[in-house]
Structure formats: structure tokens, C-alpha cells
Amino acid sequence: MRHAHPTEQAVGIEYYVSDTDGTGGRLRARDDHFRVRELERFSTEPVDTSMDAYPHLVFRATLRGWDTNDFARRLSDSLGVSRERVSWAGTKDKRAVTTQLFSVYGAEPTDIPELNRADIEILGRAGRSLEFGDLAGNAFELVVSDHDDESATNTLAITDDLAAFAGTDADPALGDPITVGVPNVFGQQRFGSKRPITHEVGLEIVRGDWEGAVMAYLGRPTAAEPDDTQAARAFVEKTRDWQTALERFPNRLQYERSMLHELAEHGGEPDASTFRGALERLPTNLQRLFVHAAQSFVFNRILSTRLERGLPFDRPVAGDVVCFADRDAPEGLELPDVDRSQRVDERRVQSVTRHCERGRAFVTAPLVGTETTLADCEPGEIERAVLDDLNLEQADFDLPGEFDSTGTRRAILVRTALTVEDNPRTFSFSLPKGSYATAVMREYLQCDPVDLG
């Protein structure tokens, strides 16, 4: 194991699996260097099926330089319908070439407009709209730019290490598919690529420190931000002068300004309810994200501690909680179903290990909430020690409004068939929904997370 980049350590990712030097380089030098295609499980009827029974038109779109939300908004505007009529299964990034499904309620094929940088293929009709649960995973094709000239040997050595980590035995060669595994960490983008403070806000919320949560979001300037933003954050940290801070915060920081409006309107010395009210000025999805990011940070810390202690990721030890594979996953994709779980005692370690080897079961760790099942024995000791170190208890996640979370568990290993080709250096692999391509690529590049895009 090697120590991770300091920016990753700040979000709980302490190590790389491989001891081999990374290749350096970066992703997304161009949009077409990051290609992702959704792996769905959604069936359609022929396009000439009655709209009465199947009112949703389904199409596949390949988008270049489109954020999913922006594309949906442009599409609904062009159709002259509410944005609520447009649905999709997974949100994709703007700096990429993405292929994904959309459904539009009440539309005919001839209604779909031609939009710039969008190739559309009509698939058929459906009786319901697309939902998040229809996404099973994503297939990636990623080009690495500016890597070391002599990095092919290191790539092979890292692949060998990751194959061993996955519990597979193979002789890697460029161009040949090989099954590798990496810790299923939450990537940097979960916490903010340039200003990773989302989990810090969430931790303060969970601890009941609403003022600390607000100041974590408004203050704590970072060198990656423009000078005027840094100055505004430093001012509000020092003075707590909400009205003057509102005048200093740039207009582009709309969320911060909305919070400052709430604080300035109350004047004087705000109490806990006022600080909470400032946070509730933010969109509900962002309110939920704060606590989710705190859970993700705890999860990353648990995985780092397990790695440090030398416990396996590809198979259980006594006390682990495993989940089983989703029976409806697309062929070749290992998709955990965390709703089907089981605690592993000493008597069942060997039998569950065989299930793990065949991709039928997965060791898990908690995304801690009020109802999360914690492990026993050494895995449970790790989970409880991380919570103690952060001064957290499960009951702390019993929170008002959008901040509340019952928690769940998540697979600790993500395993995939990987192909690496040269000229240009291209990595191809598929991951289940919720897993990060950067969790794979960070092991190879071992660079500043910003360069992972």
C-alpha cells in the first residue's frame, strides 16, 4: 500500500492498493476522452403502440458536452412542455460523451427536435417513466493524456496488483481483458472537487452544530477559488457581519447569498433555529447531500482502516455483513442488492466466500444512519472505532426534515473486467450504479484528484 494524495486523505481515502508507482496523466483532456454508456434494465413496446396504455416515448441520446439536467431543460423548452414530463435514470456530467435513455410523457417521435451535439434514437413506448432504479450501471471508455512515456510497465504491474486484490489470478497484458478490483470508495466529486467541504458541513449537522455547518459552507476559503471569493469567505469567518458579507459575496455564489439573506433578515445574534433556517434555504437535494457526504466520508474511513489492517475485501471474515447479487443485473455486471443481506458467523465464512468468488455475494460496510446494521467482531470494531473517532453515534442521524437518514450498507469492493490499450492509452470497463470510475483510475494515475476530472 502507498499513501494516497493529500486531497484524497482529506475525504477519508488514505491509501492506494498497489505499491507500484503511478503513471501520472489526466482524464478529460477532451470531452470525447471520457465516454460513458448507461447499462439499463428497461423494456419498451413498439413505437406504434397505443399512447393511451403506453404514454411515455423512450429514446436513447448520445450527448456531447451536455449536462443531463441542461439537456432535459432544453428538450422540454423545445417541446413546449413542463420539465416534469422528461425523465431519465442517471445524471451525467457535461465534460463527456454520454449515452443514456430518456422518456417523455405524451410525445410522438415526430415531436422530438433536433438539438445541437445530440444524436437521438427512438426506441419505443413505455407505460411508465424512467426512474433511478432502472439504471444498473455504466460502461466507460477513458483516455489518459500526458502520462509518463515509460508507463506501460507500471500499468501492467498495477493491473496485476488489482487482480490479486479482486481475488483473481491472471497474467496481465495490454489489450487483454482481466478482472480487477478496487475499494469501492466515494470519489472526490462526492465532496467537491475543488472545495471538498460538503462532508464537513454534513458532519456538523449530524453533531447538531447548525452554526458550525453554516460557517463550514460560508467560510473556509480555499486556494482553488477566485480571490474575491476567498476574501468574502475570510471576511464572514472573521466578522459574522451577515449584511456586509452579503454585499461582498459575488453574485455567482447564489447559495451562499441565499443563506446570508436569511441570517441578515434576523439580525442580532442568530440562534440554532436561525442557522438551520439558513441551511434550509438551499435546494432539498443539496440539504440531503450534506448528510450523504458525511456518511460517505465515514464509509471511506472504514475502508481505509480495513485496508490498513490487512482484512480482505473480496471475501468475508467472521462478523462481516454481506449482501447478495441483484438477480436482474445485465449479463456480466456484478450488481449488489443491499436489501438482501446476511451476517456471517464463523461457521459460514467458507460457504459465503464461495459465493463471493462467483460474484454472488459482496462484503459490505455501513453508510451509517439510525437503522444501519453494524458488523460484529473485527469488522464491527473498525466501524465503531471510526464513529467514535469522529464523535458520532447512529442516533445522531435522527435529524429534522431533509437531513434525516436511516442509512444502509454498501459493497466495499468493486470488481470489473478491464481492458487497457495503447496509442492512446485507453481504459475500458463497466461498473455498477453508484460506483465511481475515478475509484479505478486513481489507482493507475495516482495524481491530484483534480486531474481525474
8 Å CB contact between 180 and 418: yes
The C-alpha atoms of residue 133 and residue 432 are separated, in whole angstroms, by: 12
The C-alpha atoms of residue 244 and residue 282 are separated, in whole angstroms, by: 20
| 326 among known catalytic residues | no
| CB neighbours of residue 266 within 10 Å | 15
Closest listed residue to residue 109, CA positions, set 121, 117, 97, 119: 121
Main-chain phi, psi angles of 172, to 5 degrees: -70, 145
The DSSP secondary structure of 84-100, one letter per residue, reads GGEEES----SSSEEEE
Longest dimension (CA), the chain: 68
Beta bridge partners of 323: 341, 362
Query: Of 21, 31, 32, 93, which one is the catalytic site residue?
Result: 93
The C-alpha atoms of residue 366 and residue 403 are separated, in whole angstroms, by: 18
What sign does the CA torsion over 304, 308, 312, 318 have?
negative
Cell of residue 92, nine digits: 451525467
Cell of residue 437, nine digits: 470510475
Query: Would you please indicate which residues are annotated as catalytic (active-site) residues?
Result: 93
